[in-house]
Amino acid sequence: MSNPQVTLRRTDDYTPGKPKLKLVQEVLALPLAPTAVLIKVHAVALNYRDSNIANGGNPWPVIPNGILGNDAAGEVIAVGDKVKTFTVGDRAGPITDTENITGREVKRSWLAADEDGVMADHIIFDGDVLCKLPDYLDWIEAAMIPCAGVTAWSALKGMSIGQTVLIQDYV
């Protein structure tokens, strides 16, 4: 598959304790790696963790001047020649913990901490760390699934029929 010419715009250069974001533009290195997927980002969601990282208050180490952000939703615009699970036009978002695919792994790797996050107009991830996003959600709703949505889903682990769950709405 041919790869489009893409100029990446992303956030960079933040100073701990003094939030400062600089817009960086660079041409993406193409062609894509065989298992890579290029996504045009349509929406991102911000989490409390994102502000902690930008302010230098994250309790765990982060890569210096890494791209912030965990949650994104976008459209696949190119795939590497070995990618079988995604095609151009699919809706996709990255998994926040890219080492925790099955739930049985012992190693962890977090977006915006151990590797670049999603606050860019285009992102490239290995196809194995992406999830397909449902068509019935708009881009903003879909952007909340990778971290915030999975966090809510994980909170239900261990629940069984007959137990009570509190669902609090913001409206």
**CA–CA gap between residue 46 and residue 143 (Å, rounded):** 9
Contact between 97 and 110 (Cβ < 8 Å)? yes
Residue 91 pairs in a beta bridge with: 75
Give percent of the chain above pLDDT 70.
77
Contact between 80 and 34 (Cβ < 8 Å)? yes
Whether the bond between 4 and the residue before it is cis, its omega within 30 degrees of 0, is no
| 51-95 pLDDT tens trace | 777 777 777 777 777 788 888 999 999 999 999 999 999 999 998
The pLDDT of residue 20: 58
Mean pLDDT of the chain: 80
The full set of domains in the chain, from first to last, is 4-155 (3.90.180.10)
pTM listed for this prediction: 0.78
Q: Which are the contacts of 22, defined by CB distance < 8 A and separation ≥ 6?
A: 11, 12, 13
| 13-63 pLDDT tens trace | 555 555 556 677 777 877 899 999 999 999 998 888 887 777 777 777 777
- Residue 117 vs residues 1, 20, 40, 108, 167: alpha-carbon distances, Å: 26, 16, 14, 15, 29
Q: Which residue has the higher pLDDT, 58 or 143?
A: 143
Residue 151 has pLDDT above 70, yes or no: yes
Q: How far is CA 36 from the centre of its chain?
A: 14
Residue ranges in the chain assigned as alpha helix (H): 48-54, 139-143, 150-155
Q: Strand locations in 13-152, DSSP E?
A: 22-27, 36-45, 71-79, 91-94, 122-126, 130-132
